[in-house]
Structure 1
Amino acid sequence: MSARLTIRSRSAMAINRPTWTCVRASFHASRYASPPIRRTTSVFQAITLTTRPFSSSSSSNNNNNNNNNNSKTRHQTTSQKTTNNPSPNQNRRRNLVLLATSATLLTSYLLLHLTLLHNPSLLSPSPLSPTTFSPFTITSLTPISPSSFLLTLTPKPPAPPLLLPFAPTPPHPHLPPLHHAWHHGLWSVEIKQPQLQVARSYTPLPPLSDADLASGTLRFLIRRVDGGEVSTYLSTLPVSATIELRGPHLGFDVAARLGGEDSVVFLAGGTGVAVAMQVVRALGRLPVGERPRVEVLWASRARGDCEGGMRLGG
């Protein structure tokens, strides 16, 4: 780079003053030189920068999340379009599934309904058995004498089936074993005392009507004994209380053992008259030409237990 320097001088303006020389330098750059820097503009300029921590992993995660969200949005949009505008094959398949499901449910219900009509006891299996106790409700407790009372029990009716509103009404679960016991002849049940966990056998009296037989109502003649665990417990129970029974326990089949005899004499003492009444009922159900003559002799220790009795020997 070459330059040419030109110096110009100016004469003094006064005799006694010093001479000032102004030098003006002029650079003539060649064609390869950079243009001169203008002194009126600053070379450096202050710029304020604000920095923050930057993680390449978080940035990539954000980008991935954004991409996933965008893909989910596109998938949802595609699914909504597919749902809103199902194809004919999808409509046909859905109709076939609904038709097959409806036909299966209807067929199953009809088969179950026909099965229950043929055997309605399937709705309520019998809980009364010789090995387990079943609940009964006291419907009446009538005193007969100072020491005896008549106890009436009724089984609770079965609950209607909730899932089968049009199913036939099931029979009472206690009725099949009770009907079998009444047809047998002599039978008894056990009544439990829950506090002491003891049970005593009692013989039911014959039903007064067909309604009592159909509802499973049982009646007992019970004499309260001093120190008796079960009889004393039963005499203190109120009406609507629940007691537990186990049975039936089948006893002597008097009709099968009758043979060709035409007369039967039964001796009963106290509450044992219930057994005698069962014998009379069992023999009274025989055909007219086969019924024997039955005589029952009933005695009791206490005069008050013999209602309507009369004094003998003066």
Structure 2
Amino acid sequence: MQLNLVIKNGTIVTAENVYQADIGIRDGQIVAIAADLSGEREIDATGKLVTPGAIDVHVHHQMPLPSGVISADDFFTGTRAAAHGGTTTIIDFVAAEPEESLLDALAARQAEAKDRVVIDYGLHMTITPADIAKLDQLPAIVEAGCPTFKLYMAYGFRLKDDELLQALDAVKQVNGLPIVHAENWDVICLMIAQNLAVGRTEPRWHPRSRPAVMEGEAVGRVIDMAALVGTPVYIFHVSCDDAVERIAAARRRGLRVFGETCPQYLLLTDAAYEEPGVAGTLPVCAPPLRSLTDQARLWTALGRNELQVVSTDHCPFSSADKALGL
């Protein structure tokens, strides 16, 4: 067998095994894994781990905010960085303007990515309140290769409960997968207003305005709605024990509920918000970093398959942007 490239003497790591072997590649595809392969070009991986390319299912490249600020990585810089880190597939997002069809929005986002991405990519379709009137377009979106639909329970474009239920049911009808940012926005807005009223603007008040118990409440609420209409549901960026418990309980009941967490929650805690000055703003994210106890629970949940995915939620902003409170 003629091989274009052989990666030799590496330690191959898969989800099931760790072993030594050579990897043979022809025309860009792996066609052989065995000992003592030879090829036109050979890379010596002695002493190195050789893993499958990672799939990051949750990223935001060149994402505009209502303020006009755009996330710092575009499709080229972001996917180049991903490739350097061993990630070979990412899934980003598309959101339609109020008067725009979902298919037109999908085509426009694909045009932004075309000739810019350096790895494989896909897109999730976002459903906003303005899109509830467009739910009849979902079959065409699935046909176009986009079977996953982002539903927000937070921010100004969140779905109210009745809209959320409609969206979940519509996604079920096309055999799609709803993927959800689960937080209680009404409570968050109230607590932010209370903090601002008394001058609590330091980063350490960020997690106090988005309490873990309310993340758990929102996760439980959307799980119950998904069960009501009979659809599976995937929960983004789980940060706390309260949310994990809702997911784990649903899975014990046999519901098709899946959860992800992110490196920031696995490696950092809310103590990072106590750093003085701009440093305390750098780890601001939503949901926020949580306690050491919550962090330990996330690690346990991954080991127990209560959470199934680690993604990055890659959405970088400059320190100057973060200092503005973005």
Larger proportion of helix? 2
User: Normalising to structure 1: TM-score of the pair?
Assistant: 0.19
User: Normalising to structure 2: TM-score of the pair?
Assistant: 0.19
**Bigger relative CO (Cα 8 Å, ≥ 6 apart):** 1
Structure showing greater radius of gyration is 1
